[in-house]
Amino acid sequence: MKRFIEYLVEGALKISGSITSITILLIIIFLFKEGSGLFKNPVVEEGYVLTVNRDNPVEHITSFQIKEIYDENITNWKELGGIDSPILVFRFGDLENYFSPEELGQEYENIPQCLNTLINREKNIIAFFPELYLPKDFSGKQIAKEKISPVDFFGGKEWYPTAQPAAQFGLIPLLLGTLWVSIGAILLALPFGISVAIYMAELASKQMRSILKPLIELLAGIPSVVFGFFGLVIIVPLVQKTFNLPVGETALSGSIVLAIMALPTIITVAEDALKNTPRAMKEASLALGATQWQTIYKVVIPYSISGITSAIVLGVGRAIGETMAVLMVTGNAAIIPHTLLEPVRTIPATIAAELGEAPSGGAHYQALFALGAILFLITLILSISVEYISNKKNK
């Protein structure tokens, strides 16, 4: 009986032990399943068609070009490899400009017929309308029937998930936004973090340490929304005033808030690494006549460099994944940033801000899961590299 219970308990413990691995596996399955669904969506919004005149030589048109046409940035078919003539942009709502209510019919039953006539008549038209009204004997040409390609996603320079007729799911501006904010944060946090770690590991008295340690723990415990709120009411106006900007919600504001948030991670990990320096090495250095400072930067820091690197990587990971605080202070403009003083939008902030509005199962929804998968991969790579760095040292 006793043996049996022992086995039972050991089994239960074993199952619990595997839970983190199972969770990781489930995260991968669910995120990637939803995320890869994005590439099964058509370029043109689901349920709609994009058509041109039968004689139009243009066969292939990218998602981005469609958007440019409808934004009237591309106005001539020549730019798309067609003949030299202006593009006539047609949206479904324009129908009444071309046909009288009588022609459209009382119950709008003649709409498919009218569309057919119109597209036949206008050589330079590009028409966007619901698939429902696609004429049965359609004599025009349907274009851009292909699915969203990975190139559109990974190489796309625009993020307009609600744009019509072709939503833009470009990763580049969000990825760059995330990198700008995170790199800024780490550059700000690094001198502070490493200095405090050295101070705590090498210089501070026991008493001082017992004060600093709980305070840093407290800083780590402050919720990210509170940091965001603090950033919103203090740092954002400060940045705006200091640099004389139209808005204070910039990448820099995000970096400052994130730097404060990443500090506890950097300090704790780096301090642990510094403390692991063997006492004998330090004493040998001091005995050879080196000052305490020389010992720190010639012996202690080189010895613990891998731990310090881990601290930096973990700090970057923390910064890249941080959501709420960044969402609140960076302005969330999905444009490719050129300086730290522009509003940016990060990957986590995009997910948090848009998932609530994206219809479940739609392209936008799946694109947000694809972003989540990317984010997951980035942090996974960072975690594994930390593992690699510390393993290398142990050998």
Partner 1 sequence: MAPQLMQESVGSRKRLTQKIAFILFRFFSLSIVAILFAILFFIIKNGIGVINWDFLSKAPQEGMTSGGIFPAIVGTLCLVIGSCLFSFPIGIMSGIYMNEYAKNGKLISFIRIMTNNLSGVPSVVFGLFGMSLFVNFLGFGDSIIAGSLTLGLMSLPLVIRTTEEALKSIDNSFREGSLALGATQLETIRKVILPMALPNIITGLILSIGRVSGETAPILFTAVAYFLPQLPTSIFDQVMALPYHLYVISTSGTDIEASRGMAYGTALVLIFIVLILNLIANMIRKHFTDKNKI
Which residues between 76 and 105 bind partner 1 (CB under 8 A)?
none
Which residues have C-beta within 8 Å of that of residue 335, sequence separation ≥ 6? Answer: 173, 342, 343, 344, 345
Q: Which of 134, 183, 219, 336 binds partner 1 (CB under 8 A)?
A: 219
Q: Which of 187, 218, 284, 305 binds partner 1 (CB under 8 A)?
A: 218
Please give the structure tokens belonging to residue 1: 């009986």
Q: How far is the CB of 322 from partner 1 (least distance, A)?
A: 7
Number of H helices, E strands in the chain: 19, 6
- Lookup: tokens for 252: 């820099």
Q: 367 and 153 in contact (C-beta within 8 Å)?
A: yes
Whichever of 17 and 47 has its CB closer to partner 1, that residue is 17
Interface with partner 1 in residues 317-336 (CB under 8 A) = 317, 320-324, 327-328
Find out whether 177 and 251 touch, Cβ atoms under 8 Å. Answer: yes
Q: Rule CB under 8 A: choose which of 183, 225, 238, 336 binds partner 1.
A: 225
CA 226 to chain centre: 22
284 binds partner 1 (CB under 8 A): no
Select 7 or 108, whichever has its Cβ closest to partner 1: 7
Residue 183 interacts with partner 1 (CB under 8 A)?
Answer: no
Q: How many of the other CB atoms lie within 10 Å of CB of 145?
A: 10
- Cα angle: 295, vertex 298, 301; to 5 degrees: 95
Nearer to partner 1, 67 or 318 (CB): 318
Measured distance CA(116)–CA(138) in Å, rounded: 6
CA distance 348 to 344: 12
End-to-end CA distance of the chain: 45
The interface with partner 1 within residues 8-67 (CB under 8 A) comprises 9-10, 12-14, 16-21, 23-24, 26-27, 30-31, 34
The β-bridge relationship of strands 125-130 and 88-91 is: parallel
Count of positions on this chain that bind partner 1 (CB under 8 A):
89
What residues numbered 230-269 form the site for partner 1, per CB under 8 A?
230, 232-234, 260, 263, 267
Q: With beta carbons less than 8 A apart as the criterion, state whether 32 and 113 touch.
A: no
Residues between 108 and 137 with contacts to partner 1, criterion CB under 8 A: none
Q: Select the residue interacting with partner 1 from 115, 118, 181, 368 (CB under 8 A).
A: 368
Q: Which of 177, 228, 315, 337: binder of partner 1 (CB under 8 A)?
A: 228
Contact 53, 141 (CB under 8 A): yes
Among the listed residues 148, 176, 270, 386, the single contact to partner 1 using CB under 8 A: 386
What six digits make up the tokens of 390? 């510390």
Q: Of 77, 90, 153, 369, which one interacts with partner 1 (CB under 8 A)?
A: 369
Pick the stretch among 50-58, 113-121, 130-138, 345-353 that binds partner 1 (CB under 8 A): 345-353
Nearer to partner 1, 118 or 367 (CB): 367
187 binds partner 1 (CB under 8 A): no
DSSP bridge pairs for 141: 52
Does 356 participate in binding partner 1 (rule CB under 8 A)? yes
